[in-house]
A = this chain, B = another copy of it.
């Protein structure tokens, strides 16, 4: 009777149709609102219009869901870094911009206690993001020994990550303003010049 029902409609079918995707989307929303810690699987289920135990069938448990989210996040980050090109400063600005615009992803990505850090998909996605970051450093004009490149990559990552983290924590003084890209460019340029 409801054979032609393409999934998410008003009249709830027994099978949601695209629950996994719907739960991930709901999780993003919920994390933006209340943070990853206060995230409740039962709330996600309510948002998706399914029973409280449905999420477990797609993700096992809460950590499973957040692991999937973190993997998505690393792929988005890798994409943003590649788009920023080979300019290290621009890559750093893109990193901060990603953190601010995709706060929910970013917060889950760097909290190992929230997800399964050894998950295969997650590890692969993280590696892709790492490669994108290193390629920006390798293209630096000074281009010294590989050991220097490693160190430079860590320094660049640290300063971008630190600024992003402090921004998200609301720990920065007011005078920094409310334009993260601008502020990041100023702070990060101290390293690249």
The complex places the Cα of A155 from the Cα of B117 at a distance, in Å, of: 29
Name the one of B164, B170, B187 contacting A151, with C-beta atoms under 8 angstroms: B187
Name the one of B111, B169, B186, B188 contacting A112, with C-beta atoms under 8 angstroms: B169
A154 touches B169 (CB 8 A): no
Hey, which chain B residues are within 8 Å of A186, CB to CB? 151
**Which of A146-188 touch B at CB < 8 Å?**
150-152, 154-155, 157-166, 169-173, 175-176, 186-188
A190 touches B152 (CB 8 A): yes
Min CB–CB distance A144 → chain B (angstroms): 12
Hey, which chain B residues are within 8 Å of A155, CB to CB? 159, 187-188, 190-191
* A contact patch SS: helix
Given A113-B35, A113-B37, A165-B110, A176 contacting B154 (CB threshold 8 A) = yes
Hey, which chain B residues are within 8 Å of A162, CB to CB? 157-165
Interface size range on A against B? 35 or more
Hey, which chain B residues are within 8 Å of A159, CB to CB? 155, 158-159, 162, 191
B169 touches A111 (CB 8 A): yes
Min CB–CB distance A33 → chain B (angstroms): 11
The complex places the Cα of A139 from the Cα of B173 at a distance, in Å, of: 20
A158 touches B170 (CB 8 A): no
Min CB–CB distance A71 → chain B (angstroms): 14
The complex places the Cα of A160 from the Cα of B165 at a distance, in Å, of: 12
**Which of A38-83 touch B at CB < 8 Å?**
38
Q: Which residues of A contact B (CB under 8 A)?
A: 35, 37-38, 110-114, 117, 130, 150-152, 154-155, 157-166, 169-173, 175-176, 186-188, 190-191
